[in-house]
Structure 1
Amino acid sequence: MKIRAGQDGEFAALQEIERAAGQCFRDVGMAAIADDEPPGDRMLRGYARAGGLWVVDDEEDTGDRTGPVAYALTEPVDGCLHIEQISVHPSRSRRGIGRRLLDHLDRRAAADGLPALTLTTFADVPWNGPYYRRLGFRELPEETLPPGLRRIRRSEQEHGLDRWPRVCMRRETGGRAPSRQRGEREGGAGQERARLLPAE
């Protein structure tokens, strides 16, 4: 598995990952999330140029997929590295890819002197809030949120994401996610659909 900076010319592949990963939300009655359009080219290009687009190439040759199998969008918010989006193609779920991508982002943030990773997610969807808790993230009370996370939460509310409970979460940098338990669903991070900005 190789984690690298994303590039122009592969945005269509990343959008296909996003659409495929979002389909699991239909199983929990969240069709509106499954139907949400992925980030457009302009948004992805903006993240790429700012150094906040990360792509995973799975070097395992299974014959069922080539090219990128996962990606993440990140940006600095409140002095931390905020994970705006992280998605893994369902054909590569339960293989630890989302976990390793998070660990990569953790190391990058620590190297840049950032104290923590932050994200927002659905509180109760099994591959969202519970998944991140197992990976060492903790919930932040709404009343304690710094200005950047408050703005993100307001944007989520304006775009209707609060139809389902949402939480902000934080993990201090410099640590690794706990080892996955046998049989545990992996790919929760990869099917996050936590996008905050309107699709183009």
Structure 2
Amino acid sequence: MIRRPRGHELRKIRALEARAGRLFADLGMDAVADDRPPGVPELREDLRRGLIWVATDDHDALVGYVRTGWIDNAPHLEQVTVDPAFGRRGHGRALVARAEQWGRATGAGRMTLTTFRDVPWNAPYYRRLGWRELSSDAMGPELRAVRAAEAARGLDRWPRTAMVKDL
């Protein structure tokens, strides 16, 4: 099931993010694996603004989450994370679909994201869901700034890309 998180689950989201991040260590991407998850105040603000949802199992236990936001006056997929213990069961697909549904409800014509180009559960996965790469000249100024900030954080050691999906 996809629903809004409850306040007490915000700390669980952080722990889930840390567990999922360890998958990057298996690819030699330790800096990504060690990246700090968003803080509870940031998650609480996302909840207040209606920008975050969680996926739960049959017992209503948290198994994943999605965060959205706004970039260049368009919906933006900030983060999709599924607990590795619950991977490959459609939770990520359901979370992305929920974010896209939110994006369509805003009346926007498209939604963007940034991701790693070659990590199997990143750009290749989004391509299977109908997203396409966005050239840098097609990016708005805020998305270009996001990409520059990612590069400044050292994330471009591994190829990254911006993607877009028509809603």
TM-score with structure 1 setting the length: 0.79
Aligned to 1:103: 97
CA distance in 2, matches of 1:161, 1:13: 25
Listed one character per residue, the Cα deviations across residues 9-53 of structure 1 (whole Å, up to 9, x for unaligned) are 211110111011111111111011111111111211121111111
| 3-state SS, counterpart of residue 119 of structure 2 | coil
Matched, 1:47 2:46: yes
Could you tell me which of 149, 155, 162 is aligned with 1:161? 155
Shift of 1:67: 2.0
Whichever residue aligns with residue 20 of structure 1, its letter is R
Residues 8-157 of structure 1: matches in 2 within 5 Å? Answer: 8-59=7-58, 61=59, 67-157=61-151
Aligned to 1:177: none
Shift of 1:117: 2.0
Listed one character per residue, the Cα deviations across residues 47-84 of structure 1 (whole Å, up to 9, x for unaligned) are 1111111111112x5xxxx6211111111222321011
CA distance in 2, matches of 1:162, 1:30: 11
Count how many residue pairs are aligned between Structure 1 and Structure 2. Answer: 167
CA distance in 1, matches of 2:90, 2:159: 26
CA distance in 2, matches of 1:81, 1:58: 27
CA distance in 2, matches of 1:108, 1:131: 20
| 3-state SS, counterpart of residue 51 of structure 1 | coil
Highest RCO, 1 vs 2 (Cα 8 Å, sep ≥ 6)? 1
| 3-state SS, counterpart of residue 28 of structure 1 | coil
Q: Is the 8 A contact 2:2 2:94 kept in 1?
A: no
Shift of 1:90: 0.8
TM-score with structure 2 setting the length: 0.94
Shift of 1:142: 1.2
Q: Runs of 4+ in structure 1 displaced over 2 angstroms?
A: none
Whichever residue aligns with residue 4 of structure 2, its letter is A
CA distance in 2, matches of 1:159, 1:46: 24
Q: Is the 8 A contact 2:63 2:86 kept in 1?
A: yes
CA distance in 2, matches of 1:126, 1:89: 16
Q: Which has the higher helix share?
A: 2
| 3-state SS, counterpart of residue 3 of structure 2 | strand
Q: Is the 8 A contact 2:113 2:162 kept in 1?
A: yes
For structure 1, the 5+ residue unaligned runs are 174-200
